[in-house]
Amino acid sequence: MKSDAAALEESALWMSLPGGNDVIEWFGRVPDFHDAEIISLHLDRGGPSRLAIHFFKLQQSITHSKGVMEPTGDAIVTFELDYIVDLNLDGFGHQNVIYGLKLTRADADPARAPYYAIDHSPLDYEIELEPCYGLGGKIRARTVRLLFELGRPKPPRPMM
Protein backbone atom coordinates (compact mmCIF):
# COMPACT_ATOMS: atom_id res chain seq x y z
CA MET A 1 0.00 0.00 0.00
CA LYS A 2 1.35 3.43 -0.94
CA SER A 3 1.74 6.15 1.65
CA ASP A 4 -0.37 9.28 1.19
CA ALA A 5 2.76 11.23 0.21
CA ALA A 6 3.73 8.62 -2.42
CA ALA A 7 0.19 8.59 -3.83
CA LEU A 8 0.18 12.40 -4.07
CA GLU A 9 3.58 12.39 -5.77
CA GLU A 10 2.39 9.75 -8.26
CA SER A 11 -0.80 11.71 -9.02
CA ALA A 12 1.19 14.92 -9.54
CA LEU A 13 3.48 13.15 -12.01
CA TRP A 14 0.55 11.74 -14.01
CA MET A 15 -1.29 15.09 -13.99
CA SER A 16 1.82 16.82 -15.30
CA LEU A 17 1.72 14.69 -18.46
CA PRO A 18 -0.37 15.64 -21.50
CA GLY A 19 -3.49 13.45 -21.25
CA GLY A 20 -2.82 12.43 -17.65
CA ASN A 21 -5.80 14.33 -16.25
CA ASP A 22 -8.15 12.49 -18.65
CA VAL A 23 -6.88 9.11 -17.43
CA ILE A 24 -7.16 10.03 -13.74
CA GLU A 25 -10.59 11.61 -14.21
CA TRP A 26 -12.06 8.51 -15.85
CA PHE A 27 -10.49 5.93 -13.51
CA GLY A 28 -10.98 8.14 -10.43
CA ARG A 29 -7.29 7.74 -9.51
CA VAL A 30 -3.97 6.79 -11.05
CA PRO A 31 -4.69 3.31 -12.43
CA ASP A 32 -2.49 0.43 -11.24
CA PHE A 33 -3.10 -1.58 -14.45
CA HIS A 34 -3.47 -4.83 -12.47
CA ASP A 35 -4.54 -7.54 -14.95
CA ALA A 36 -4.34 -5.10 -17.87
CA GLU A 37 -3.29 -6.39 -21.28
CA ILE A 38 -0.63 -4.89 -23.48
CA ILE A 39 -2.24 -4.84 -26.90
CA SER A 40 0.62 -3.30 -28.84
CA LEU A 41 4.12 -1.93 -28.60
CA HIS A 42 5.40 -0.01 -31.62
CA LEU A 43 8.98 1.22 -31.52
CA ASP A 44 9.91 3.99 -33.93
CA ARG A 45 13.37 5.50 -33.99
CA GLY A 46 12.24 8.53 -36.03
CA GLY A 47 9.03 9.46 -34.27
CA PRO A 48 6.92 8.63 -31.28
CA SER A 49 6.84 5.03 -30.08
CA ARG A 50 3.57 3.74 -28.62
CA LEU A 51 2.62 1.32 -25.87
CA ALA A 52 -1.14 0.60 -25.86
CA ILE A 53 -2.78 -1.06 -22.87
CA HIS A 54 -6.35 -2.29 -22.45
CA PHE A 55 -7.64 -1.74 -18.93
CA PHE A 56 -10.99 -1.42 -17.22
CA LYS A 57 -12.68 0.59 -14.52
CA LEU A 58 -13.65 -1.41 -11.45
CA GLN A 59 -16.47 -0.97 -8.97
CA GLN A 60 -17.69 -2.85 -5.92
CA SER A 61 -19.83 -5.82 -6.98
CA ILE A 62 -23.54 -5.56 -6.25
CA THR A 63 -24.10 -9.31 -6.61
CA HIS A 64 -21.05 -10.67 -4.76
CA SER A 65 -19.70 -10.33 -1.25
CA LYS A 66 -17.72 -7.31 -0.09
CA GLY A 67 -14.25 -6.97 -1.55
CA VAL A 68 -15.22 -8.35 -4.98
CA MET A 69 -14.65 -5.83 -7.75
CA GLU A 70 -16.23 -6.02 -11.20
CA PRO A 71 -15.23 -4.30 -14.46
CA THR A 72 -17.63 -1.54 -15.45
CA GLY A 73 -16.00 0.00 -18.49
CA ASP A 74 -13.12 -0.56 -20.90
CA ALA A 75 -10.47 1.85 -22.05
CA ILE A 76 -7.27 1.86 -24.03
CA VAL A 77 -4.48 3.96 -22.56
CA THR A 78 -1.66 4.63 -25.00
CA PHE A 79 1.70 5.87 -23.79
CA GLU A 80 3.27 7.91 -26.58
CA LEU A 81 7.03 8.05 -26.04
CA ASP A 82 9.64 10.28 -27.65
CA TYR A 83 13.39 9.81 -27.48
CA ILE A 84 13.69 6.29 -26.10
CA VAL A 85 16.69 6.24 -23.78
CA ASP A 86 16.74 2.52 -22.99
CA LEU A 87 14.69 -0.66 -23.30
CA ASN A 88 14.98 -3.77 -21.20
CA LEU A 89 12.12 -6.07 -22.19
CA ASP A 90 11.46 -9.80 -21.86
CA GLY A 91 8.80 -12.17 -23.07
CA PHE A 92 6.09 -11.64 -25.64
CA GLY A 93 3.14 -13.79 -26.55
CA HIS A 94 -0.34 -13.91 -27.95
CA GLN A 95 -1.53 -12.41 -24.66
CA ASN A 96 0.56 -10.00 -22.58
CA VAL A 97 -1.03 -9.50 -19.19
CA ILE A 98 0.69 -7.42 -16.54
CA TYR A 99 0.39 -7.38 -12.75
CA GLY A 100 0.85 -3.66 -12.86
CA LEU A 101 2.53 -0.62 -14.39
CA LYS A 102 4.66 1.97 -12.63
CA LEU A 103 5.42 5.34 -14.18
CA THR A 104 8.18 7.29 -12.46
CA ARG A 105 10.99 9.72 -13.11
CA ALA A 106 14.01 7.61 -14.06
CA ASP A 107 17.06 7.64 -11.86
CA ALA A 108 20.45 7.14 -13.47
CA ASP A 109 21.26 3.44 -13.72
CA PRO A 110 25.02 2.92 -14.14
CA ALA A 111 24.51 -0.78 -14.96
CA ARG A 112 22.29 0.13 -17.93
CA ALA A 113 24.26 3.25 -19.03
CA PRO A 114 26.14 1.36 -21.78
CA TYR A 115 22.76 0.65 -23.42
CA TYR A 116 21.46 4.23 -23.34
CA ALA A 117 20.64 5.52 -26.81
CA ILE A 118 21.00 9.08 -25.54
CA ASP A 119 22.50 10.45 -22.33
CA HIS A 120 20.41 10.16 -19.17
CA SER A 121 18.57 13.27 -18.01
CA PRO A 122 16.78 13.89 -14.69
CA LEU A 123 13.75 14.65 -16.89
CA ASP A 124 13.57 11.06 -18.19
CA TYR A 125 10.59 8.84 -17.42
CA GLU A 126 10.58 5.11 -16.74
CA ILE A 127 7.68 2.77 -17.35
CA GLU A 128 7.99 -0.53 -15.54
CA LEU A 129 5.77 -3.35 -16.77
CA GLU A 130 5.41 -5.99 -14.08
CA PRO A 131 4.79 -9.18 -16.05
CA CYS A 132 2.15 -11.74 -15.28
CA TYR A 133 2.08 -13.52 -18.64
CA GLY A 134 4.07 -12.32 -21.62
CA LEU A 135 5.77 -8.95 -21.99
CA GLY A 136 7.48 -7.26 -19.06
CA GLY A 137 10.41 -4.99 -18.36
CA LYS A 138 11.30 -1.31 -18.46
CA ILE A 139 11.17 1.48 -21.01
CA ARG A 140 12.94 4.82 -20.47
CA ALA A 141 11.98 7.82 -22.55
CA ARG A 142 12.59 11.56 -22.50
CA THR A 143 8.92 12.48 -22.99
CA VAL A 144 5.60 10.74 -22.34
CA ARG A 145 2.10 11.68 -23.47
CA LEU A 146 -1.06 9.75 -22.65
CA LEU A 147 -3.83 9.10 -25.13
CA PHE A 148 -7.12 7.84 -23.76
CA GLU A 149 -9.85 6.06 -25.69
CA LEU A 150 -12.99 4.43 -24.33
CA GLY A 151 -13.88 0.93 -25.52
CA ARG A 152 -12.36 -2.46 -26.10
CA PRO A 153 -9.50 -3.18 -28.50
CA LYS A 154 -10.07 -4.86 -31.84
CA PRO A 155 -9.76 -8.65 -31.62
CA PRO A 156 -6.25 -9.89 -32.47
CA ARG A 157 -5.47 -11.69 -35.68
CA PRO A 158 -6.00 -15.45 -35.41
CA MET A 159 -2.88 -17.42 -34.47
CA MET A 160 -1.25 -19.37 -37.27
pLDDT at 46: 86
Tens of each residue's pLDDT in the chain, 160 residues: 678 888 899 999 999 999 999 999 999 999 999 999 999 999 998 889 999 999 988 666 566 666 666 667 899 999 999 999 999 999 988 889 999 999 999 998 899 999 898 888 999 999 999 999 999 999 999 999 999 999 999 887 777 7
pTM score: 0.89
Locate the domains of the chain by residue range. 4-150
DSSP per-residue codes, the chain: ---HHHHHHHHHHHHHSTTHHHHHHHHSS----TTEEEEEEE--SSS-EEEEEEEEEEEE-SSS-TT-EEEEEEEEEEEEEEEEEEEEEE---S--EEEEEEEEEPPP-TTTGGG-SS---TT-EEEEEEEEES-EEEEEEEEEEEEEEESPPPPPPPP-
